[in-house]
């Protein structure tokens, strides 16, 4: 969640966030989030063209929920590794 708060160069930053995430799958998920009104896509007139995504108010409203799920997953992943 932290990486997409504000604007982020998703294609540059996402491999570090989600190892093994393919470009087509990332593109589809971003389109889905945009369709649901959670993200806004900004095309920057640079060379090469750059695309950034920004959370909408609706998307930012989910931050607490997503952070709680991430905390839960991290805690249980760590516990699973220690057993």
**pLDDT tens sequence across 16-43:** 667 777 888 888 999 999 999 999 999 9
> How confident is the model at residue 80, as a pLDDT?
61
CA dihedral 53, 39, 61, 58 (to 10 degrees): 150
**Which phi and psi angles does 36 have, rounded to 5°?**
-80, -5
pLDDT above 90 as % of the chain: 40
pTM: 0.66
Residues 6+ apart with CB under 8 A from 39: 4, 30, 33, 53, 54, 55, 56, 59
């Amino acid at each position: 969640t932290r990486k997409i708060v504000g604007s982020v160069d998703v294609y540059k930053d996402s491999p570090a966030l989600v190892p093994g995430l393919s470009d087509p799958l990332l593109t589809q998920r971003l389109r889905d989030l945009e369709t649901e009104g959670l993200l806004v896509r900004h095309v920057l007139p640079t060379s090469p063209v750059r695309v950034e995504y920004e959370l909408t108010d609706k998307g930012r409203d989910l931050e607490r929920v997503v952070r709680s799920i991430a905390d839960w997953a991290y805690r249980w992943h760590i516990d699973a590794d220690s057993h």
